[in-house]
Copies of this chain bind each other. A is one copy, B any other.
Amino acid sequence: MNVSHASVHPVEDPPAAATEVENPPRVRMDDMEGMPGTLLGLALRFFQFLFAAAALCVMASTSDFPSVTAFCYLVAATGLQSLWSLALAMVDVYAIMVKRSLQNRRLVSLFAIGDGVTSTLTFAAACASAGITVLIDNDLNSCAQNHCVQFETSTALAFISWFAALPSFLFNFWSLASR
């Protein structure tokens, strides 16, 4: 009789419940709404573009904005933000229409870095403009000689655009880390 010599060690099956409790199923980001190529992701891009473009137009409509460096920077940063969001909105529309996933590592890294840079620049511009708007409005009380309403409106719109851009960055960064 030919008996196999492989020594068999009884391996205990780890109790399923225990392992499940210790390692709760990780939330894989690519299944979640808000990621590139999803409707929520597209909605975020739309709002980013809308508010950034509005902030740019309101600030550019004031005749004296070029005399303040921070306001020129706001126009530049919101211009960059609207171009970036518009481009990515088009990518999202394309991905949704052809049902193509945008979840490969290189693309997600590009999105995360792009979102990180543009949202930081927009936030910085909004904060600098807010500092000056409060200085003119509150500290110096010289709204009579300045376009305070436009400055405040444009600054607020830039903050809202940043507020819509932040989730895109966090979603992409989380997706990158959880691959």
Contacts and interface: CB of A to CB of B under 8 A. Distances in A.
A23 to B, nearest CB: 8
Contacts of A128: 127-128, 130-131, 134
Interface in A124-179: 124-125, 127-132, 134-135, 138-139, 170, 173-179
Nearest to A136: B135
Contacts of A69: 131, 134-135, 138-139
A165 to B, nearest CB: 13
Contact of A67 (B29, B139, B175): B139
A3 interface: no
Nearest to A178: B177
Interface string A46-86: 00000000000000000000011110000000000000000
How many copies of this protein are present in the complex? Answer: 2
Given A177-B29, A177-B173, A68 B123 contact: no
Contacts of A179: 26
Contact of A131 (B120, B131, B138, B177): B131
A128, A170, A173: residue with the most chain B Cβ atoms closer than 10 Å: A128
Given A177-B177, A177-B178, A68 B124 contact: no
Given A124-B123, A127-B128, A70 B135 contact: yes
A70 B134 contact: yes
5 contacts: A69-B139, A128-B134, A131-B132, A174-B177, A178-B178
Given A130-B131, A132-B135, A178-B178, 6 more contacts: A68-B139, A69-B134, A69-B139, A128-B134, A173-B177, A176-B177
